[in-house]
Amino acid sequence: MSILSSTLSSNYSPQHHGTQKHNRSLYISIDSNAGSHPRAHRRQFLLLQMASTMLSLASASASASSLSMHDTLKGKVKLGSNGLSTGFVKTKSFGRVSMSIAVNVSRFEGITMAPPDPILGVSEAFKADTNDMKLNLGVGAYRTEELQPYVLEVVKKAENLMLQRGENKEYLPIEGLAAFNKATAELLFGADNPLLKEQKVATVQGLSGTGSLRLAAALIERYFPGAKVLISSPTWGNHKNIFNDARVPWSEYRYYDPKTVGLDFEGMIADIKDAPEGSFILLHGCAHNPTGIDPTPEQWEKIADVIQEKNHNPFFDVAYQGFASGSLDTDAASVRLFAARGMELFVAQSYSKNLGLYAERIGAMNVVCSSADAAVRVKSQLKRLARPMYSNPPIHGAKIVANVVGDPTLFNEWKVEMEMMAGRIKNVRQKLFDSLSAKDKSGKDWSFILKQIGMFSFTGLNIAQSENMTNKWHVYLTKDGRISLAGLSLAKCEYLADAIIDSFHNVS
């Protein structure tokens, strides 16, 4: 009687240079004492077919890299291009046939698939959609009325200047381009700010806003061990990732009130008061992302009062200076308020939005210190952290910013273009509100859309309603209901209003 048995086992075989390769082998044994009887031949043939099938399946599922066969006595099994064949040489008697598959198992088997990015993943889904009415309102990138990417004219002029000068591509210092650092600090704090004249601000060029935040997080982890960062609820999706990656503990403070679709100011103040003394309070300088809801000037004063009383550390993220209101000075007012009080603070900057330099990764990290000596020491440690992280920053975007801000003519042209971009978004915001108000007969108040500022609007739609926007209406947005008005045209405002009204009223 023939017996078919299989055993799956793992073993390690030494490779070159002392390393080891993880192999997995499948052993199949066929035993027969039936001699050369025709029925025995038939039985052996069927068993080999079964063995072939098992080996093929094992090979396919485990991505086998090699297959070895040992035949004993007079029985032989052939290998074909697809693995084991069922043919064998007829003999009068059969002994034991042993076959094995050696499977290479990756040392990365334990690494799981990462979830898609909640924002960038929206763009990927949008690209795959073939519907003519589709809208990408997920990623915060400015678009023209024709919904095309826009390169600022002032940027083109600055780049032409760089070509005419024939500037080289040598490494920048670790802290970045000196002309950029000077220009960006003056843009943020004001050129005549005493802090700059007294050299109390440590400024280093960073990899846009994200890289600048990450650099500051590394400084907090190293020199403020155990200090907690408080971030708004909700906030930009990458904030949590940055502090998690830097191993800096964080918690949330109340910010958005779903009942009013506005600021929960009392909750915000209470949570800042309750935070452990010396916490870092992450604040959006202007155009809060994702809600578009900013404190009033009077509320900013109260926030500063509480932070000072609790001896907290203000930490500003400024990603939209000049792009929110159209005024560089207006959008920097919150930062300048805190700085004027003599408070030490962190400020991360980005030029992705206001100069459209998304791919150039240009930004800065500023630390306002109580003395010039402290600023020198802080800057030295920021450089020390940057060196093993990315060594030194890119030059192209830094020179664009330095040329634009440093040239009075280009600087004035830039302000005009920023006003144009901010104005287009304001017009779209108004048209969307008008369309919602005209089409929605339920009496719902949509005025919160006009009260919000910047490129984003927090619609108040929940996850199910946001999914309906995408699945039924081909409108792509983040799951929290945030839409980027920069990706909306006046021509499509009514279509978007229909989608919002349907999702809000017909999806629970």
Q: Are residues 267 and 373 in the same domain?
A: yes
List the CATH number of the domain containing 266: 3.40.640.10
Query: What's the pLDDT score for residue 17?
Result: 43
Query: What's the pLDDT score for residue 104?
Result: 78
Q: Are residues 135 and 195 in the same domain?
A: no
Kindly report the three-state secondary structure assignment for every residue of 387-403.
Answer: HHHHCCCCCHHHHHHHH
Residue 91 has pLDDT above 50, yes or no: no
From residue 177, give the alpha-carbon distance in Å to each of 122, 170, 173, 288, 384: 35, 11, 7, 29, 17
pLDDT tens digit string along 302-334?
Answer: 999 999 999 999 999 999 999 999 999 999 999
Q: Are residues 55 and 202 in the same domain?
A: no
pLDDT tens digit string along 196-247?
Answer: 999 999 999 999 999 999 999 999 999 999 999 999 999 998 999 999 999 9
- Phi and psi, residue 464, nearest 5°: -60, -40
Output the CA torsion 208→211→212→217 (10° steps).
160
Q: Are residues 241 and 305 in the same domain?
A: yes
**b/e sequence 79-90, b meaning 16+ C-beta within 10 Å:** eeeebbebebee
Omega cis (within 30) before 116: no
Residue 133 has pLDDT above 80, yes or no: yes
User: Which residue, chain included where needed, has tokens 């678009």?
Assistant: 143
How would you class 232 by CB atoms within 10 Å of its CB: exposed for 0-12, middle for 13-18, buried for 19 or more?
Answer: buried
SS3 37: coil
**In contact, 219 and 377? CB cutoff 8 Å:** no
Residue 46 has pLDDT above 80, yes or no: no
DSSP per-residue string spanning 301-353:
HHHHHHHHHTT-EEEEEES-TTTSSS-HHHHTHHHHHHHHTT--EEEEEE-TT
The residue from 157, 250, 264, 353 that is catalytic is 353
From residue 236, give the alpha-carbon distance in Å to each of 71, 283, 440: 64, 11, 30
SS3 203: strand
Q: Are residues 200 and 127 in the same domain?
A: no
In a domain, 163, yes or no: no
Q: In what order do the strands lie in the sheet with 66-71?
A: 3-14, 20-31, 96-104, 66-71
DSSP per-residue string spanning 54-110:
HHHHHHHHHT--EEEEEE-TT----EETTEE-S-----S---EEEEEEEEEPPTTTT
What gap in Å lies between CA 112 and CA 450, rounded to an integer? 43
The residue from 157, 236, 379, 480 that is catalytic is 236
User: Which residue, chain included where needed, has tokens 């490129």?
Assistant: 455
In a domain, 249, yes or no: yes
Q: Are residues 382 and 239 in the same domain?
A: yes
Which of 51, 76, 104 terminates a domain? The answer is 104
From residue 492, give the alpha-carbon distance in Å to each of 127, 144, 292: 18, 13, 21
In a domain, 155, yes or no: no
21-25, 52-56, 182-186: which has the highest mean pLDDT?
182-186
H-run or E-run covering 231: strand 229-233
In a domain, 70, yes or no: yes
Instruction: Return the number of other C-beta atoms located less than 10 Å from residue 139's C-beta.
Output: 17
Q: Are residues 220 and 281 in the same domain?
A: yes
In a domain, 160, yes or no: no
Q: Are residues 395 and 464 in the same domain?
A: no
**In contact, 436 and 449? CB cutoff 8 Å:** yes
Which of 382, 406, 430 terminates a domain? The answer is 406
Q: Which of 14, 197, 129 is nearest to 469 (CA)?
A: 129
In a domain, 383, yes or no: yes
DSSP state of 191: T
SS3 440: coil
Report the number of distinct structural domains present in the chain: 3
pLDDT tens digit string along 331-360?
Answer: 999 999 999 999 999 999 999 999 999 999
Q: What average pLDDT does range 392-417 have in this prediction?
A: 96
In a domain, 164, yes or no: no
The residue from 264, 271, 294, 317 that is catalytic is 317
Query: What's the pLDDT score for residue 115?
Result: 85
Q: Are residues 392 and 444 in the same domain?
A: no
Q: Which of 281, 355, 359, 336 is nearest to 313 (CA)?
A: 281
Tokens, residue 68: 């070895």
DSSP per-residue string spanning 108-169:
TTTPPPPPPPTTHHHHHHHHH---TT-EE-SS---B-TTS-B---HHHHHHHHHHHHHT---
DSSP state of 487: G
List the CATH number of the domain containing 475: 3.90.1150.10
Q: Are residues 311 and 421 in the same domain?
A: no
- Phi and psi, residue 201, nearest 5°: -115, 120
Which of 406, 435, 468 terminates a domain? The answer is 406
Look up the domain containing 188 and give its range: 173-406
In a domain, 30, yes or no: yes
- Among this protein's residues, is 317 annotated catalytic? yes
Q: Are residues 206 and 96 in the same domain?
A: no
Q: Are residues 135 and 223 in the same domain?
A: no
| Percent of the chain residues past pLDDT 90, beyond the cut | 72
Is the overall model pTM greater than 0.85, yes or no?
Answer: no
Higher pLDDT: 503 or 1? It is 503
**b/e sequence 260-278, b meaning 16+ C-beta within 10 Å:** ebebbbeebbebbeebeee
Query: What's the pLDDT score for residue 65?
Result: 41
Query: What's the pLDDT score for residue 122?
Result: 82
